[in-house]
Amino acid sequence: MKLPLTILQIVLGVLVSGLILLQAKGTGLGRTSFSPMAYHSRRGFEKLIFKTTVILTSIFVLVSAAGYFVV
């Protein structure tokens, strides 16, 4: 029973990593602290990628926690 959870973790990890790499560049500390445009709202495809990343990361955490309880 642990093998399907491990495979699911690998797939989710790859998907989350890919989604993080797809997110817009330049949204780090430098942009929010030192630029005149301190607030940037996500719209369209960028918002979809962000929400999907949050959902898949949450599922990844739940699957990881479930792995500890499976014998």
Of 19-28, 48-57, 60-69, the range with the lowest mean pLDDT is 19-28
CA torsion through residues 8, 15, 62, 55, sign: negative
pLDDT band at 71 (very low <50, low <70, confident <90, very high): confident
- Checking if the pLDDT of 41 tops 80, the result is no
- Checking if the pLDDT of 38 tops 80, the result is no
pLDDT band at 23 (very low <50, low <70, confident <90, very high): confident
State how many domains the chain has.
1
Please choose, from the candidates 61, 52, 64, 41, the residue with its C-alpha nearest in 3D space to the C-alpha of residue 18: 52
C-alpha separations of 24 from 9, 11, 28, 42, 70 in Å:
25, 22, 10, 10, 37
Q: Is the pTM of this model over 0.85?
A: no
CA-based max dimension of the chain: 54
Structural domain span for residue 30: 2-69
